[in-house]
Amino acid sequence: MTDQHENSIRQAIAEAISENEVILFMKGSPEAPACGFSARTVGILQSLDTRFAAVDVLPDPRIRQELSALSNWPTIPQLFVGGELVGGCDIVTEMYETGELAELLGAEQQQTPAEPEVADAGVLQIENRLG
């Protein structure tokens, strides 16, 4: 595709990050994560009762490419809070275990993160869980 189309993807990603207080770029959807790292990150957010938007990077490889170029972070999932990259699964897990993530999100630390229930879901462009 053209640079213009890739720039429009990057712009859409940047807008999604700025428009959502908490947004997770992941493989699959919160109801049907497509990898263990995404499932764990979703489970952590859910255990903190955090409302978040989610973007599936799998339908179009350019989403992942442009996201990584924008964030300078190579792996998925990527969690953003307040427009800033928090990190991937390892960092989110470590922050959860120390209580730092609950503090950042203004949430109460509860229990061990639950594995999300898997449901049949179509491909999501973006799922906004803020509304």
List, for residues 54-71, the tens digit of each pLDDT value: 999 999 999 999 999 999
pTM: 0.80
What pLDDT sits at residue 72? 95
Domain 3-128 annotated CATH 3.40.30.10: yes
Q: Are 55 and 125 in contact (CB under 8 A)?
A: yes
As a whole number of angstroms, the distance between CA 91 and CA 88 comes to: 6
What pLDDT sits at residue 111? 54
